[in-house]
Amino acid sequence: MKLILLSGGSGKRLWPLSNDSRSKQFLRVLPGPGGIKESMVQRVLRQVQEVDLVKDTFIVTGKAQAEIIHNQAGDQVPLIIEPERRDTFAAIMLAVSCIYSRTDASLDETVVIMPVDPYVDLDFFKTLRSLEQVLRTMGSSLALIGAQPTYPSEKYGYILTEELSGEMRHVKRFAEKPKAELARTFIEQGALWNCGVFAGRLDFFVELLRQRNLPVDFDSLASQYDSIPKNSFDYEVVEHLQYIAVVPYSGYWKDLGTWNTLTEEMGDSISGKGVCSKDSVNTHIVNELDIPVAVLGVSNLIVAASPDGILIADKEESPRIKEILTSGDSRPMFVERHWGWYRVLEYGKNESEQEVLVRRVCIQTGKQISYHMHKLREEIWAITSGSGEVVLDGQVQTVRTGDVIRILSGIKHSIRGSSELQFIETQIGLELTESDIYRFQTVWMV
């Protein structure tokens, strides 16, 4: 069995912690082993490891998320990088072509696709393993997993089945996020929540490519990625199939896509600097800032604070955040990279109309940024903690707390942390953009 995890989206319903660089699945707010906070991605990969599936697992994601996945998950799972965002059908087809042309998988191998961020227990992954047998027994093109509903939710899609009981059922039809009253009727008829899991044989997915005259070779498909229909896999494939099997799952399953659902699983009511009065019932504080947040005498609130902004909302109303968010391409204020993270402290223009950006940068022990240069800006690094090495035009020097390094435009440079290394970086230039980064190599210079 091959497992494909889909990682995409911006998770704007969890603003201000989530942004275009850090989607909801990367927020380290869930209780993990040893009391250490973990993200949804880290939790799922830990569970995949525990059921011995990790060696056959792939993550499909975009370029913007590749570094943060490496930062949180290391290299234990290979990444399949989309050339651009084109919805779940294209992402799945790209992953299938990779498995077909770059692994030794046979055409009758079972391929399972699921989101990277469901909140489930280990039994869910044991149910995943059963899909291989379901496909053989039911003779269907696809097999799905449907969770037993616990209430008439309007947030989830429903799978209506032909039988009301049994370990394997045939899908009758799908219903997308019905109103509560209709959802209650569906539940009475034995409907299941759609978990977004698809399982089929590799030859079934390869045939989908051939039917659309798309190449089955990974490199060829990647070069023609913009020709793949920009649709969901449900719309492009699932809704047109006649015979689909579904396996009921009665264990724990939840989509932590909103603040009211996420805070139910966080364990602690306060994360970061904050205090909440005893009469503030069911109120959560999630604070990534270095200033304290105090809540007094109000209940059922989410107070979330990050460098991107501050949200104060009634938990039940928090999914409405998309109504008031602006649609501009604002600069993310907190970003995780494969080498660590940075937080923007200030951005503006000086008296010469040059752009000025100040940020706190953390380089993890043994990690380094790429060897690169800029043409349109200079940088000043003030080391605030830790020690490491800096390379300037091929010359290596040791740096420690209190050192200041000035990097003029055109100077090739890199930095590595001998211990966890933090510094304040000031960028000054005509244009502070990603396009003004000229990389020469990613491995350490010496």
Q: What is the pLDDT of residue 95?
A: 97
The whole-number pLDDT of residue 322 equals 82
Alpha-carbon distance of 229 to 221, in angstroms, equals 12
Q: Are 199 and 136 in contact (CB under 8 A)?
A: no
Predicted confidence at residue 165, as pLDDT, reads 64
Q: Which H, E and C letters describe the chain, residue by residue?
A: CEEEEECCCCCHHHCCCCCCCCCHHHCCCEECHHHCEECHHHHHHHHHHHCCCHHHEEEEEEHHHHHHHHHHHCCCCCEEEECCCCHHHHHHHHHHHHHHHHCCCCCCCEEEEEECCEEECHHHHHHHHHHHHHHHHHCCCEEEEEECCCCCCCCCCEEEECCCCCCCEEEEEEECCCCHHHHHHHHHCCCEEECCCEEEEHHHHHHHHHHCCCCCCHHHHHHCHHHCCCCCHHHHCHHHCCCEEEEEECCCEEECCCHHHHHHHCCCCEECCEEECCCCCCCEEEECCCCCEEECCCCCEEEEEECCEEEEEEHHHHHHHHHCCCCCCCCCCEEEECCEEEEEEEEEECCCCCEEEEEEEEECECCECCEEECCCEEEEEEEEECEEEEEECCEEEEEECCCEEEECCCCCEEEEECCCEEEEEEEEECCCCHHHCEEEECCCCC
In the chain, what's the furthest Cα-to-Cα distance? 73
pLDDT band at 351 (very low <50, low <70, confident <90, very high): very high
Determine the average pLDDT of the residues in 58-73: 91
* Torsion sign across C-alpha atoms 155, 156, 161, 165: negative
Angle in degrees, CA 177, 179, 183, rounded to 5: 80
- pLDDT tens column, 37-54: 999 999 999 999 999 999
**Cα 379 to the center of its chain, rounded Å:** 31
Q: How far apart are the first and last CA of the chain?
A: 42
**pLDDT of 357 higher than 90:** yes
CA–CA dist 29, 43 (Å, integer): 11
Please state which of the ranges 63-67, 164-168, 198-202, 410-414 shows the lowest mean pLDDT. 164-168
Which of these ranges, 137-146, 165-174, 185-194, 220-229, has the smallest mean pLDDT?
165-174
- For residue 159, what pLDDT band results from cuts at 50, 70 and 90? very high
Answer whether 258's CB lies under 8 Å from 318's CB. yes
pLDDT bracket for residue 25 (50, 70, 90): very high
Report the mean per-residue pLDDT for the chain.
92
In this prediction, residue 13 carries a pLDDT of 84
> Given a cut of 70, is residue 164 above it in pLDDT?
no
Residue 327 clears pLDDT 60, i.e. is over it: no
| 255 vs 444: which has the higher pLDDT | 255
CA-atom Rg of the chain in angstroms: 24
Mean pLDDT over residues 394-414, rounded? Answer: 96
Proportion of the chain above pLDDT 90, given as a percent: 76
Q: How confident is the model at residue 328 (pLDDT cuts 50, 70, 90)?
A: low
Query: Per-residue pLDDT tens for 362-397?
Result: 999 999 999 999 999 999 999 999 999 999 999 999
State yes or no: pLDDT of 209 exceeds 80: yes
**Mean pLDDT across the stretch 320-326?**
81
The whole-number average pLDDT for the span 254-277 is: 92
Across 179-206, average pLDDT = 93
What's the mean pLDDT in 421-441? 93
Across 238-255, average pLDDT: 91
Query: Is cis: bond before 248, omega within 30 of 0?
Result: no
Give the global pTM.
0.89
Q: How confident is the model at residue 445 (pLDDT cuts 50, 70, 90)?
A: low
Q: pLDDT tens across 331-340, in order? A: 788 989 999 9
For the stretch 104-132, pLDDT in tens is 999 999 999 999 999 999 999 999 999 99
Interacting residues of 434 by C-beta distance below 8 A, sequence separation 6+:
none
Mean pLDDT is lowest, of 18-22, 342-346, 369-373, for 18-22
- Confidence (pLDDT) at 443: 74
Which pLDDT value is given to residue 8?
Answer: 85
Q: What is the pLDDT of residue 446?
A: 56
Percent of the chain with pLDDT over 70: 97
